[in-house]
């Protein structure tokens, strides 16, 4: 079924569900007689043929009915020996209950005022709502996949998927319902309000046993979901990896650039960029395939230049794209990104590096910090101030790193690397033609660029985490049941992250014309959560051998914008909560 058909079905089901929404708990009695095929009867009202309904169709209707707590006990549908179908419907119900709980909480956060403003403007409330949105996004991705699996996979695989999905959906639903009560305050603890009903229902379905469900077992490899064209591309990539000779591409001076150039020469950097710019014109999902296979094979990731390349592609002039884009993708010229400053990290609008117009050039003075790969870079995409205070006074310049007045001081990290540096600009002269966009466009360009930098697939991180989990599976947990449970838990949440990433990449279109937008902050928060989960587990399982990875997992909540800033973005730009003062 096409996405637009599912959307129409969802909208129709939502209208029916709203008509059945109970006003309070009086219509929600334990003796509700609706059982069996009730969900299909309701689905029939949407115009869907009940007899031939797919699990995906039924799950869409089930989710909407659960969202409003419509009095239809569709999860009690007699499914016979079809454990996967029963579990998939439970997942749909859990997602619907959680969605309804969050909707109620958001409405309250908009209308309830304290200290002269809506409570949703308070960061404490906004961050609760943002975390709930991350839980819900993971559950929605897994629930949709579970329903699809019932229709598309062999029964054993479908049951494995649906069993794992139920675990994630139940955990997420309980968390979201608990959060909703916290946001609702005392109102959420009254008998008449539906909040406690939602929480009771989430717990009941979390504990419910389903005959035939699997308590453990490997989840199907998501790489098996490739389309024929994607599978052919993956096979081509695997063959190249198998032939790759690292020694033939070794470079004592700039090993990262040597890898970049070898990967580009083989056709695996910027595959979603137009051919005229040095890419292959493929859909954005192919970028994830490259990152996946490199991560699974223990190879270095794709050079992290996608966010810079997208900024040039979208905002550069024809002359700038012609001069810089192909060289950036190929690694012929190395680039870095100059954003953070000693006094402006999360608050980029407060940066003080200035660019003063002087005839046909800008004179740049200031300093940047935490600039990745600055030591080896030839160009810097520099966010600087050309106007007054605030974000409206910011512009973006392309600055040669060998220009007089540029100084780079490496920073040694806790992992004993020198990939970061502080960069000083002292009277650096930059031609006006190297202004990206127009004066004052810097903030918009920076926000679009950061949306790509936060993407789990764009930075090649999901496959590294998957490889880490696979390694722990091979090593085993030494018979420790607690560690075994934590490994199962981490693997399920990583699977949810990867499902979310697949869906989001397919929404970008064939040439990645749109940036990930504010919902990319949900992806980044989910990535951060999973990264920390796996980093701590590896440390507890492997000891000092895993310390570097653990320390990197702590950095996941910092680079690309801190967790706290990502929560602000989700709360305000995704959930629509008011800004704080």
Residue 267 has pLDDT above 90, yes or no: yes
Residue 486 counted as domain residue: yes
Average pLDDT over residues 425-445: 95
Q: 49 and 143 in one domain?
A: yes
27 and 154 housed in the same domain: yes
Who wins on pLDDT, 414 or 63? Answer: 63
77 falls in which pLDDT band (50, 70, 90)?
Answer: very low
512 has pLDDT over 70: no
Examine the domain organization and report whether 473 and 414 are in the same domain.
Answer: no
Residues 164 and 202 in one domain: yes
Q: Show which of 388, 419, 449 is a domain's final residue.
A: 449
Percentage above 90 pLDDT, the chain: 55
350: domain CATH number? 2.40.110.10
Q: Are residues 204 and 188 in the same domain?
A: yes
Compute, in degrees rounded to 10, the torsion defined by CA atoms 377, 378, 379, 385.
80
Domain membership flag for residue 114: yes
Residue 128, Ramachandran bin (φ over 0: left; ψ between -120 and 50: alpha; else beta)? alpha
Is 203 in the same domain as 130?
Answer: yes
Q: Do residues 352 and 439 share a domain?
A: yes
What pLDDT was estimated at residue 79? 45
According to the model, what pLDDT value does residue 39 have? 52
104 lies in some domain: yes
Give pLDDT, residue 72. 55
Report the percentage of the chain scoring pLDDT > 70: 88
Number of domains within the chain: 4
Does residue 580 sit within a domain?
A: no
Domain edge (last residue) among 424, 449, 474: 449
DSSP-H helix ranges across 266-404:
285-296, 306-315, 318-320, 326-330
Strand partners, 510: none
Residue 330 forms part of a structural domain:
no
Domain range for 469: 454-574
Question: Does residue 407 sit in the same domain as residue 540?
Answer: no
The pLDDT of 305-317, averaged and rounded, is 90
Q: 3-state DSSP call for residue 162?
A: helix
The Cα 22–Cα 5 span in angstroms is 28
Q: Up-side HSE of residue 130: CA atoms within 13 Å toward CB?
A: 31
Final residue belonging to a domain, choices 187, 215, 243 = 215
Residue 96 clears pLDDT 90, i.e. is over it: yes
Beta-carbon contacts of 73 under 8 Å, excluding residues fewer than 6 positions away, are 32, 34, 35, 38
Q: Is residue 327 part of a domain?
A: no
- Band of pLDDT at residue 382, cut at 50, 70 and 90: very high
Give the burial class of 568: count Cβ atoms within 10 A of its Cβ; 0-12 exposed, 13-18 middle, 19 or more buried.
buried
The whole-angstrom separation of Cα 165 and Cα 469 is 18
The domain that holds 70 is classified in CATH as 1.20.140.10
Count of beta carbons in the 10 Å neighbourhood of residue 445: 21
Which of the following is catalytic: 287, 341, 453, 563?
A: 453
Candidate ranges 12-16, 113-117, 255-259; pick with highest mean pLDDT? 113-117
Whether residue 132 sits in one domain with residue 11: yes
Q: Write down the pTM of the prediction.
A: 0.88
Q: What's the DSSP call for residue 95?
A: H
Q: Are residues 442 and 458 in the same domain?
A: no
pLDDT in the model for residue 70: 78
Cα separation of 105 and 158, whole Å?
34
HSE (side-chain half, CA atoms, 13 Å) at 161: 27
Task: Assess if residue 76 is contained within a domain.
Answer: yes
Quote the CA–CA distance of 363 and 278 in Å, as a whole number: 32
Residue 425: beta bridge partners? Answer: 366, 406
Q: What is the pLDDT of residue 181?
A: 97
Lowest mean pLDDT among 16-20, 101-105, 281-285: 16-20
Whole-angstrom Cα distance, residue 115 to residue 227?
55
Classify residue 328: in a domain, yes or no.
no
Same domain, 54 and 201: yes
Question: Residue 455: its pLDDT value, please?
Answer: 63
Tally of helices (H runs) and strands (E runs) in the chain: 19, 10
The answer to whether 453 is a known catalytic residue is yes
Q: How confident is the model at residue 134 (pLDDT cuts 50, 70, 90)?
A: very high
Measured distance CA(473)–CA(467) in Å, rounded: 10
Same domain, yes or no: 202 and 154 = yes
Residue 177 clears pLDDT 80, i.e. is over it = yes
């Amino acid at each position: 079924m096409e996405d637009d058909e599912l959307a129409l079905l969802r909208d129709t089901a939502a209208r029916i569900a709203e008509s059945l929404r109970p006003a309070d708990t009086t219509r929600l009695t334990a003796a509700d007689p609706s059982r069996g095929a009730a969900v299909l009867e309701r689905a029939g009202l949407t115009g869907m043929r009940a007899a031939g309904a797919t699990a995906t169709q039924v799950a869409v209707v089930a989710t909407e009915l659960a969202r409003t707590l419509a009095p239809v006990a569709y999860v009690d549908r007699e499914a016979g020996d079809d454990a996967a179908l029963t579990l998939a419907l439970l997942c749909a119900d859990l997602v619907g209950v959680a969605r309804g709980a969050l909707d109620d909480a958001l409405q309250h956060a908009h209308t309830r005022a304290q200290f002269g403003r809506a409570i949703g403007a308070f960061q404490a409330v906004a961050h609760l709502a943002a975390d709930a949105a991350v839980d819900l996004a993971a559950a929605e991705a897994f629930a949709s996949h579970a329903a699809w699996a019932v229709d598309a996979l062999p029964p054993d695989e479908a049951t494995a998927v649906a069993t794992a999905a139920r675990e994630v959906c139940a955990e997420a639903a309980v968390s979201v319902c608990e959060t909703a009560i916290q946001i609702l305050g005392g109102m959420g603890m009254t008998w008449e309000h539906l909040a406690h009903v939602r929480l009771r229902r989430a717990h009941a379905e979390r504990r419910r046993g389903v005959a035939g469900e699997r308590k453990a077992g490997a989840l199907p490899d998501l790489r098996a979901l490739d389309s024929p064209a994607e599978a052919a591309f993956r096979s081509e990539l695997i063959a190249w990896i198998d032939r790759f000779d690292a020694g033939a591409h070794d470079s004592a001076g700039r090993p990262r650039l040597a890898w970049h150039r070898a990967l580009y020469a083989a056709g695996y950097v910027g595959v979603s960029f137009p051919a005229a710019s040095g890419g292959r014109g493929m859909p954005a999902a192919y970028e994830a395939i490259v990152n996946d296979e490199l991560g699974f094979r223990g190879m270095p990731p794709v050079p992290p230049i996608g966010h810079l390349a997208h900024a040039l592609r979208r905002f550069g002039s024809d002359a700038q794209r012609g001069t810089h884009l192909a060289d950036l993708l190929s690694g012929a010229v190395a680039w870095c990104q100059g954003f953070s400053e000693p006094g402006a990290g999360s608050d980029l609008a407060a940066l003080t590096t200035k660019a003063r117009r002087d005839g046909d050039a800008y004179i740049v003075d200031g300093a940047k910090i935490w600039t990745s790969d600055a030591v080896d870079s030839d160009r810097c995409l520099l966010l600087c101030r050309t106007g007054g205070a605030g974000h409206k006074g910011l512009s973006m310049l392309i600055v040669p790193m060998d220009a007089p007045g540029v100084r780079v001081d490496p920073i040694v990290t806790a992992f004993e690397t020198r990939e970061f540096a502080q960069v000083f600009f002292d009277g650096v002269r930059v031609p006006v033609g190297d202004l990206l966009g127009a004066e004052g466009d810097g903030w918009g360009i920076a926000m679009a660029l950061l949306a790509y930098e936060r993407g789990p697939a764009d930075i090649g991180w999901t496959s590294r985490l998957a490889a880490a989990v696979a390694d722990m599976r091979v090593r085993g947990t030494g018979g420790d049941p607690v560690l075994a449970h934590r490994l199962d838990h981490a693997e399920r949440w990583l699977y949810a992250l990867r499902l979310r990433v697949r869906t989001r990449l397919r929404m970008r279109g064939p040439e990645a014309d749109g940036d990930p937008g504010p919902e990319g902050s949900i992806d980044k928060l989910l990535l951060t959560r999973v990264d920390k989960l796996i980093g701590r587990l590896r440390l507890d399982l492997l000891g000092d051998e895993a310390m570097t990875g653990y320390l990197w997992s702590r950095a996941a909540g910092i680079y690309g914008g801190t967790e706290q800033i990502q929560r602000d973005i989700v709360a305000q730009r995704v959930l629509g909560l008011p800004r704080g003062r």
